[in-house]
Amino acid sequence: MELKIGMLLDAFYPTDIRVYKEATALIQAGYEVHLLCKRRKGEQTYEEVDRLKVHRINAGKSNMAKGIVDVITAINFVNPFFRKALPDFITSNEINVLHIHDLPLFKTGFEMKHKYNLKLVADFHENYPEALKVWFTWKKNKLLRLKNSLFFSYNRWKSYETFAIKKADYLIAVVEEMKNRIVDQNICDETKIFVVTNTEEKSFANSPIDTNIYGLKDEYIITYTGNIGPHRGIDTAIKAMTYLKDKPEIKLYIVGSGSKSVMEKLHTLIKENAVSDQVKMMGYQPFSRFFSFMKMANVNTIPHHSNDHTDNTVPHKLFQAMMTGKPLLVSSSRSLKRIVEATGSGLVFEAGNARDFASKVTMLYTNQQLSGQLGSNGLQATLKGSCHWENTAKKLQALYHDIQSCPG
């Protein structure tokens, strides 16, 4: 059977690094891959992006429109815009496998399964029901909190996730912990679950470096890069700086942004803990600068809180930071702890414990030999070991080899 893969993404493209890497890996393996995604103002309805055939539909261009569509979708878990577009997308491109990125669009794709004789691949980027518990914890707007409690409650989405796990032909879990969670719940046979984690391409280590990214300062720099939300543990890192006031040269740089309520929360924490001299908020930065921020730091931190969301996913920046050759400081969130300890690429602090975070910073600050060894271990694991995308891509390609070999 010649496979023609139709990916579904309830977001804009190109912005999703996981979708890009997966699509590229499948194209390199000889498959024809199409992507149905949302369209921003000014974007073409169809174009090829690095050989990926991108089809865009109008399905909520603004945050307000997206919020309305999300509520409509959450009523019966079917997105009306994608449902309308899918029949033509499937027939015109002769799609025989739907690869559905994350939980929200699964049922929309499932509606097409039997009519068009499709195989369904559910790609779980994260533990979505648990994520809904933590994403909105810093929201103050009462109307938003009511909407979330009605339409985005854990129990509704957990039941929906169970439905998706049972109905999918194949599952992709983002990390081993995610696979183990599903297996432990006895929802499905583990043989249909493939782990495709968020490793990085080796070429990331050759990214251009701006050696003056922080300016000419005599500082010991701890850096967090990426999206910011309540589950990311940035609040722990900020509070930890209160235990490092006797070392004013140690600075925490926060590179990235979040929602208005999230950023207000962080600025309030900085003020309440009187650490404005030690914590630098860099705001949104283009991805092209991330390697420089990581490479020119002394320590890269991923201080996630430990919960059933963060324990069952892993961020791209873990492996990206390892490729800079600098030590990591991560929380005891299960997946982070396992990978960092297995590779010897950093230190682990107790999630949510600001004092322990500060203690581990001091350990790295006062022991250059330890820091150098940890950084070297991370570089070795990603460039010479197995923790790189070139290795991970083979697992995704193996899944599709299974599909191609399976009749019916």
**What is the C-alpha separation between 340 and 328, in angstroms, rounded?**
8
157 and 21 co-located in one domain: yes
Sheet harboring 32-38: ordered strands across?
46-49, 52-57, 32-38, 4-12, 97-101, 119-124, 170-173, 193-195
| Domain co-membership, 182 together with 223 | no
Residue 289's pLDDT band (cuts 50, 70, 90):
very high
Phi-psi region of 325 (alpha: psi -120 to 50; beta: other; left: phi over 0): left
E strand or H helix at 53 = strand 52-57
Arithmetic mean of pLDDT, 292-319: 97
Question: CATH no. for residue 272?
Answer: 3.40.50.2000
Task: Judge whether residue 139 has pLDDT over 80.
Answer: no
Beta carbons of 31 and 3 less than 8 angstroms apart = yes
Kindly state whether residues 313 and 374 are assigned to the same domain. yes
Are 267 and 217 part of one and the same domain?
yes
Beta strands in 240-342 (DSSP E): 250-255, 279-283, 299-302, 328-331
Instruction: Examine the domain organization and report whether 118 and 219 are in the same domain.
Output: no
Same domain, 64 and 179: yes
Mean pLDDT for the chain overall: 93
Residues 302 and 162 in one domain: no
Mean pLDDT over 180-208 rounds to: 94
pLDDT number for residue 61? 65
Q: Give yes or no: residues 284 and 266 share one domain.
A: yes
Parent domain of 319:
202-383
Q: Give the C-alpha separation, 79 to 357, whole Å.
A: 42
**If you write DSSP's letter for every residue of 139-199 in order, what string do you get?**
---HHHHHHHHHHS-HHHHHHHHHHHHHH-SEEEESSHHHHHHHHHTT-S-GGGEEE----
Confidence band of 62 (pLDDT split at 50, 70, 90): low
Q: Which residue has the tokens 């602090």?
A: 349
Structure tokens at 50: 């690095």
Asked if residue 311 has pLDDT above 70, the reply is yes
- CA 50 from chain centre, in angstroms, equals 21
Please provide residue 213's backbone torsions phi and psi, each rounded to the nearest 5 degrees.
Answer: -60, -30
Q: Is residue 147's pLDDT more than 70?
A: no
Task: Examine the domain organization and report whether 125 and 274 are in the same domain.
Answer: no
Structure tokens at 389: 């995308």
The confidence score (pLDDT) of residue 310 equals 94
| Secondary structure tally for the chain: helices H, strands E | 16, 14
Token pair of 305, please? 């809180």
Query: In terms of domains, do 164 and 233 share one?
Result: no
Distance CA 5, CA 99 (A): 7
Report pLDDT for 138: 55
pLDDT for residue 69:
82
Q: Please state whether beta strands 193-195 and 52-57 pair in parallel, antiparallel, or not at all (unpaired).
A: unpaired
Q: What is the pLDDT of residue 63?
A: 65
User: Quick one: 195 and 213 in the same domain?
Assistant: no
How many domains does one find in the chain? 2
188-195: long-range contacts at Cβ-Cβ below 8 A with a sequence spacing of 24 or more?
192/168, 194/170, 194/395, 194/396, 194/398, 194/399, 195/395
Classify each residue of 142-165 as buried b or exposed e, where b means 16 or more C-beta atoms within 10 Å of its C-beta: eeeeebbeebbeeeebeebbebbb
Confidence of residue 187 (pLDDT cuts 50, 70, 90): confident
313-350 pLDDT, tens digit each: 999 999 999 999 999 999 999 999 999 999 999 999 99
Q: What is the CA radius of gyration of the chain?
A: 22
Closest CA to 298 of 356, 366, 355: 366
CA distance 102 to 126: 7
Relative to beta strand 250-255, strand 279-283 is: parallel
- Whether residue 36 is found in the same domain as residue 159: yes
For helices 142-151 and 63-76, the axis angle rounded to 10 degrees is 30
How many percent of the chain have pLDDT more than 70? 95
